[in-house]
Protein backbone atom coordinates (compact mmCIF):
# COMPACT_ATOMS: atom_id res chain seq x y z
CA UNK A 1 0.00 0.00 0.00
CA UNK A 2 1.53 3.31 -1.09
CA UNK A 3 0.21 6.18 1.00
CA UNK A 4 2.14 8.97 2.75
CA UNK A 5 0.62 7.97 6.09
CA UNK A 6 1.18 4.20 5.96
CA UNK A 7 1.76 3.14 9.59
CA UNK A 8 2.75 6.71 10.47
CA UNK A 9 2.07 7.37 14.13
CA UNK A 10 -0.17 10.40 14.58
CA UNK A 11 1.48 13.30 16.38
CA UNK A 12 4.72 11.39 16.80
CA UNK A 13 6.96 14.39 16.09
CA UNK A 14 5.97 15.79 19.49
CA UNK A 15 7.64 12.81 21.17
CA UNK A 16 11.08 13.92 19.97
CA UNK A 17 13.11 16.83 21.25
CA UNK A 18 13.18 20.09 19.34
CA UNK A 19 16.96 19.80 19.02
CA UNK A 20 16.77 16.37 17.41
CA UNK A 21 13.93 17.32 15.04
CA UNK A 22 15.81 20.39 13.82
CA UNK A 23 18.99 18.37 13.29
CA UNK A 24 16.89 15.87 11.36
CA UNK A 25 15.56 18.61 9.10
CA UNK A 26 19.06 19.98 8.59
CA UNK A 27 20.28 16.60 7.38
CA UNK A 28 17.36 16.34 4.96
CA UNK A 29 18.17 19.82 3.64
CA UNK A 30 21.86 18.92 3.29
CA UNK A 31 21.03 16.17 0.81
CA UNK A 32 18.54 18.39 -1.02
CA UNK A 33 20.91 21.29 -1.58
CA UNK A 34 23.95 19.14 -2.25
CA UNK A 35 22.08 17.43 -5.07
CA UNK A 36 20.58 20.70 -6.28
CA UNK A 37 24.11 22.00 -6.79
CA UNK A 38 25.11 18.74 -8.49
CA UNK A 39 22.13 18.98 -10.86
CA UNK A 40 23.13 22.54 -11.81
CA UNK A 41 26.67 21.36 -12.56
CA UNK A 42 25.38 18.53 -14.76
CA UNK A 43 23.10 20.91 -16.65
CA UNK A 44 26.02 23.27 -17.24
CA UNK A 45 28.84 20.82 -17.93
CA UNK A 46 27.05 17.62 -18.94
CA UNK A 47 28.93 15.52 -16.38
CA UNK A 48 29.05 13.23 -14.50
CA UNK A 49 27.04 11.14 -16.93
CA UNK A 50 26.09 8.39 -14.48
CA UNK A 51 24.61 9.82 -11.32
CA UNK A 52 22.11 8.24 -8.92
CA UNK A 53 20.21 10.91 -7.02
CA UNK A 54 18.61 10.53 -3.59
CA UNK A 55 16.28 13.54 -3.52
CA UNK A 56 12.85 12.40 -2.36
CA UNK A 57 14.08 9.49 -0.24
CA UNK A 58 16.49 11.40 2.01
CA UNK A 59 14.18 11.46 5.04
CA UNK A 60 14.79 7.71 5.50
CA UNK A 61 18.57 8.04 5.70
CA UNK A 62 18.31 11.15 7.88
CA UNK A 63 16.10 9.32 10.38
CA UNK A 64 18.28 6.21 10.47
CA UNK A 65 21.45 8.27 10.93
CA UNK A 66 20.31 9.00 14.50
CA UNK A 67 19.50 5.40 15.41
CA UNK A 68 22.26 3.42 13.66
CA UNK A 69 25.30 5.55 14.31
CA UNK A 70 27.59 2.70 15.42
CA UNK A 71 26.54 0.29 12.67
CA UNK A 72 28.67 -0.85 9.75
CA UNK A 73 26.92 0.41 6.61
CA UNK A 74 26.56 -1.57 3.40
CA UNK A 75 24.89 0.91 1.07
CA UNK A 76 23.16 0.38 -2.23
CA UNK A 77 24.17 2.11 -5.47
CA UNK A 78 21.97 5.13 -4.60
CA UNK A 79 23.69 6.42 -1.48
CA UNK A 80 24.36 10.18 -1.55
CA UNK A 81 21.73 10.51 1.20
CA UNK A 82 23.27 7.78 3.36
CA UNK A 83 26.78 9.18 2.97
CA UNK A 84 25.80 12.77 3.80
CA UNK A 85 23.35 12.18 6.65
CA UNK A 86 25.60 9.69 8.44
CA UNK A 87 28.46 12.21 8.44
CA UNK A 88 30.44 11.72 5.25
CA UNK A 89 32.52 14.68 4.08
CA UNK A 90 30.56 16.65 1.41
CA UNK A 91 33.77 17.97 -0.18
CA UNK A 92 35.10 14.44 -0.72
CA UNK A 93 31.75 13.42 -2.23
CA UNK A 94 31.81 16.37 -4.61
CA UNK A 95 35.37 15.52 -5.63
CA UNK A 96 34.45 11.87 -6.17
CA UNK A 97 31.58 12.86 -8.44
CA UNK A 98 33.92 15.16 -10.37
CA UNK A 99 36.45 12.34 -10.80
CA UNK A 100 39.13 13.99 -8.66
CA UNK A 101 41.88 12.19 -6.70
CA UNK A 102 40.62 13.80 -3.47
CA UNK A 103 37.33 11.90 -3.77
CA UNK A 104 36.17 9.02 -1.61
CA UNK A 105 37.64 6.50 -4.07
CA UNK A 106 40.20 8.78 -5.76
CA UNK A 107 37.53 9.74 -8.27
CA UNK A 108 37.31 6.20 -9.66
CA UNK A 109 34.11 4.93 -8.02
CA UNK A 110 31.69 7.68 -8.89
CA UNK A 111 28.13 8.12 -7.70
CA UNK A 112 27.25 4.46 -7.13
CA UNK A 113 30.32 3.22 -5.22
CA UNK A 114 30.59 5.53 -2.23
CA UNK A 115 32.57 4.52 0.80
CA UNK A 116 33.92 6.30 3.84
CA UNK A 117 36.02 5.02 6.73
CA UNK A 118 36.69 8.10 8.82
CA UNK A 119 35.44 9.90 11.94
CA UNK A 120 33.68 6.86 13.34
CA UNK A 121 31.74 6.12 10.14
CA UNK A 122 32.27 2.72 8.49
CA UNK A 123 30.56 2.75 5.09
CA UNK A 124 31.44 0.15 2.48
CA UNK A 125 30.97 1.05 -1.17
CA UNK A 126 28.64 -0.67 -3.60
CA UNK A 127 30.30 -2.74 -6.32
CA UNK A 128 27.73 -2.55 -9.13
CA UNK A 129 25.87 -5.85 -8.85
CA UNK A 130 22.37 -4.95 -7.67
CA UNK A 131 21.73 -6.15 -4.14
CA UNK A 132 25.20 -7.64 -3.66
CA UNK A 133 25.78 -5.41 -0.64
CA UNK A 134 23.21 -7.44 1.32
CA UNK A 135 25.04 -10.81 1.40
CA UNK A 136 28.33 -8.93 1.83
CA UNK A 137 26.91 -7.12 4.85
CA UNK A 138 25.55 -10.34 6.30
CA UNK A 139 28.95 -11.99 5.86
CA UNK A 140 30.67 -9.04 7.54
CA UNK A 141 28.27 -9.28 10.49
CA UNK A 142 28.96 -13.01 10.76
CA UNK A 143 32.72 -12.48 10.75
CA UNK A 144 32.88 -9.44 13.03
CA UNK A 145 29.83 -9.71 15.26
CA UNK A 146 29.28 -5.99 14.70
CA UNK A 147 25.85 -4.46 14.18
CA UNK A 148 25.33 -3.92 10.46
CA UNK A 149 22.77 -2.17 8.27
CA UNK A 150 22.14 -3.22 4.66
CA UNK A 151 20.30 -0.77 2.40
CA UNK A 152 18.62 -2.03 -0.77
CA UNK A 153 15.73 -1.13 -3.06
CA UNK A 154 12.49 -2.91 -3.94
CA UNK A 155 14.08 -4.07 -7.19
CA UNK A 156 17.14 -5.45 -5.40
CA UNK A 157 14.84 -7.43 -3.11
CA UNK A 158 14.06 -9.68 -6.08
CA UNK A 159 17.66 -10.88 -6.43
CA UNK A 160 17.78 -14.41 -5.02
CA UNK A 161 20.90 -13.86 -2.95
CA UNK A 162 19.19 -11.04 -1.03
CA UNK A 163 16.46 -13.32 0.32
CA UNK A 164 18.97 -16.10 0.95
CA UNK A 165 21.13 -13.69 2.93
CA UNK A 166 18.13 -12.63 5.02
CA UNK A 167 17.32 -16.26 5.79
CA UNK A 168 20.95 -16.92 6.71
CA UNK A 169 20.95 -13.94 9.08
CA UNK A 170 17.88 -15.30 10.86
CA UNK A 171 19.33 -18.81 11.16
CA UNK A 172 22.55 -17.50 12.66
CA UNK A 173 20.89 -14.71 14.69
CA UNK A 174 23.13 -12.04 13.16
CA UNK A 175 22.92 -8.38 14.23
CA UNK A 176 21.75 -7.09 10.84
CA UNK A 177 19.14 -4.43 10.11
CA UNK A 178 17.73 -4.73 6.58
CA UNK A 179 16.40 -1.46 5.12
CA UNK A 180 14.39 -1.64 1.89
CA UNK A 181 14.01 1.82 0.34
CA UNK A 182 10.86 1.13 -1.66
CA UNK A 183 9.86 3.58 -4.41
CA UNK A 184 7.70 0.96 -6.18
CA UNK A 185 9.88 1.05 -9.30
CA UNK A 186 12.63 -1.07 -10.75
CA UNK A 187 13.77 1.52 -13.30
CA UNK A 188 10.33 1.93 -14.97
CA UNK A 189 8.36 -1.13 -13.86
CA UNK A 190 6.06 -1.05 -10.83
CA UNK A 191 6.24 -3.72 -8.16
CA UNK A 192 2.81 -5.23 -8.89
CA UNK A 193 3.93 -6.03 -12.45
CA UNK A 194 7.21 -7.59 -11.31
CA UNK A 195 6.09 -9.85 -8.46
CA UNK A 196 3.20 -11.15 -6.38
CA UNK A 197 4.90 -11.12 -2.95
CA UNK A 198 5.86 -8.48 -0.41
CA UNK A 199 9.25 -8.23 1.30
CA UNK A 200 7.65 -7.86 4.74
CA UNK A 201 5.71 -11.11 4.28
CA UNK A 202 8.92 -12.89 3.30
CA UNK A 203 10.59 -11.48 6.43
CA UNK A 204 7.71 -12.70 8.59
CA UNK A 205 8.01 -16.12 6.97
CA UNK A 206 11.63 -16.20 8.11
CA UNK A 207 10.50 -15.28 11.62
CA UNK A 208 12.05 -11.83 11.36
CA UNK A 209 10.56 -8.72 13.04
CA UNK A 210 9.56 -6.22 10.37
CA UNK A 211 7.58 -3.07 9.58
CA UNK A 212 6.16 -1.48 6.43
CA UNK A 213 6.00 2.31 6.83
CA UNK A 214 5.90 5.49 4.78
CA UNK A 215 8.96 7.73 4.89
CA UNK A 216 7.89 9.82 7.88
CA UNK A 217 11.24 10.21 9.66
CA UNK A 218 9.89 10.30 13.21
CA UNK A 219 7.95 7.07 12.66
CA UNK A 220 11.03 5.45 11.13
CA UNK A 221 13.08 6.39 14.19
CA UNK A 222 10.36 5.02 16.47
CA UNK A 223 10.05 1.67 14.70
CA UNK A 224 13.81 1.34 14.24
CA UNK A 225 14.38 1.72 17.96
CA UNK A 226 11.92 -1.15 18.53
CA UNK A 227 13.10 -3.40 15.70
CA UNK A 228 16.80 -3.13 16.48
CA UNK A 229 16.20 -4.55 19.95
CA UNK A 230 15.68 -7.94 18.26
CA UNK A 231 18.00 -8.28 15.28
CA UNK A 232 17.96 -9.36 12.54
CA UNK A 233 15.00 -7.23 11.50
CA UNK A 234 13.66 -5.47 8.41
CA UNK A 235 11.99 -2.14 7.72
CA UNK A 236 10.39 -1.38 4.35
CA UNK A 237 10.24 2.40 3.81
CA UNK A 238 7.90 3.74 1.13
CA UNK A 239 9.49 6.69 -0.67
CA UNK A 240 8.86 8.93 -3.68
CA UNK A 241 12.16 9.61 -5.37
CA UNK A 242 12.12 12.76 -7.50
CA UNK A 243 14.52 11.86 -10.31
CA UNK A 244 15.05 9.09 -12.82
CA UNK A 245 16.79 5.83 -12.03
CA UNK A 246 19.94 7.32 -13.57
CA UNK A 247 20.42 11.02 -14.23
CA UNK A 248 18.66 14.25 -13.37
CA UNK A 249 15.43 13.90 -15.36
CA UNK A 250 11.95 13.76 -13.86
CA UNK A 251 8.62 12.27 -14.87
CA UNK A 252 6.50 14.90 -13.16
CA UNK A 253 5.80 15.63 -9.51
CA UNK A 254 6.16 12.79 -6.97
CA UNK A 255 3.14 11.21 -5.29
CA UNK A 256 4.02 13.07 -2.10
CA UNK A 257 6.82 15.37 -0.98
CA UNK A 258 8.20 14.33 2.41
CA UNK A 259 10.61 17.23 2.67
CA UNK A 260 7.70 19.67 2.51
CA UNK A 261 5.64 17.56 4.91
CA UNK A 262 8.44 17.53 7.50
CA UNK A 263 8.84 21.28 7.11
CA UNK A 264 5.14 21.90 7.62
CA UNK A 265 5.11 19.69 10.72
CA UNK A 266 7.96 21.70 12.20
CA UNK A 267 6.18 24.96 11.40
CA UNK A 268 3.07 23.63 13.18
CA UNK A 269 5.27 22.93 16.20
CA UNK A 270 6.40 26.56 16.22
CA UNK A 271 9.85 26.27 14.64
CA UNK A 272 9.45 28.54 11.60
CA UNK A 273 12.35 30.84 12.47
CA UNK A 274 14.67 27.92 13.22
CA UNK A 275 13.97 26.14 9.93
CA UNK A 276 14.42 29.38 7.98
CA UNK A 277 17.85 29.70 9.58
CA UNK A 278 18.68 26.06 8.79
CA UNK A 279 17.65 26.43 5.16
CA UNK A 280 19.65 29.63 4.74
CA UNK A 281 22.76 28.12 6.36
CA UNK A 282 22.65 24.88 4.38
CA UNK A 283 21.87 26.60 1.09
CA UNK A 284 24.79 29.02 1.45
CA UNK A 285 27.13 26.21 2.47
CA UNK A 286 26.22 24.06 -0.53
CA UNK A 287 26.35 26.99 -2.94
CA UNK A 288 29.91 27.66 -1.75
CA UNK A 289 30.74 23.97 -2.10
CA UNK A 290 29.74 23.89 -5.77
CA UNK A 291 30.90 27.41 -6.66
CA UNK A 292 34.16 26.36 -8.30
CA UNK A 293 32.32 23.86 -10.50
CA UNK A 294 29.75 26.42 -11.63
pLDDT, tens only, 234-280: 999 999 999 999 999 998 999 999 999 999 999 999 999 999 999 99
Contact 220, 6 (CB under 8 A): no
Return phi, psi of residue 204, to 5°. Answer: -65, -35
Residue 148 above 90 pLDDT?
yes
Per-residue pLDDT at 8? 97
Predicted model pTM: 0.96
- CATH class name, domain 12-75+131-293: alpha beta
CA 7/CA 5 separation, integer angstroms: 6
Residue 140 above 80 pLDDT?
yes
Q: State the average pLDDT for the chain.
A: 96
90-97 helix and 18-45 helix, angle to the nearest 10 degrees: 20
pLDDT-derived band at 172 (thresholds 50, 70, 90) equals: very high
The structural domains of the chain, with segments of one domain joined by +, span 12-75+131-293
160-171 helix and 133-144 helix, angle to the nearest 10 degrees: 20
Amino acid sequence: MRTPDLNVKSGIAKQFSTELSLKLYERICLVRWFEKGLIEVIKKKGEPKFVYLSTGQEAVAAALSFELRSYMIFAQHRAHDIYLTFGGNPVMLRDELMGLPAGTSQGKGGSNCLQYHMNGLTMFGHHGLIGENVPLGVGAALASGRKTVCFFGDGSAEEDYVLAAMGFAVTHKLPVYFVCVDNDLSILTTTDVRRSWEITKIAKGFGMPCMDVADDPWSIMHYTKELTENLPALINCRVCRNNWHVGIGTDGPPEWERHAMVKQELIKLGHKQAIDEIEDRVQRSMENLWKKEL
